[in-house]
Amino acid sequence: MDKSCCDLEIDVSADSPTTYSVEMRFRQAGREDESRLLRDSQTISAAIADLTALADLDPSSEAYSAGLSQALFKDPRASDFFKMALNTSDTLDSLIRIRLLLDSTVPVMHDLRWE
């Protein structure tokens, strides 16, 4: 672990063919303890429809970025946790490393342009 960098890990995993969950872990720079957010499973059908619609958009467009963000942070708790991590790293004047872990059983997630 780099002591000068905060770490945010976003883990998207499939619970079943129709549900997925997102777990987020955040560690402040120079600390060993971490904050966690475990989001309850939710139906993936709406998110899959949102993600499928992204295929028709230019991956470098604002609409693509907005659609991807809305799908990943559909649950306000996930959005709030992400903002907390960004604000904390900003307050500490630290860089933040974001790691995105995608379950191999959710192929639609791997077809997306995340960067």
pLDDT per residue as tens digits for the range 36-83: 866 555 444 455 556 667 778 888 889 888 888 887 787 788 888 899
Contact 35, 25 (CB under 8 A): yes
Q: Whose CA is closest to 6, among 102, 86, 108?
A: 86
Query: 104-115 pLDDT, tens per residue?
Result: 877 777 777 887
66 in helix, strand or coil?
Answer: helix
What is the reported pLDDT for 2?
A: 45
Model confidence, pTM: 0.77
Residue 17 in this model has a pLDDT that exceeds 80: no
What is the reported pLDDT for 77?
A: 82
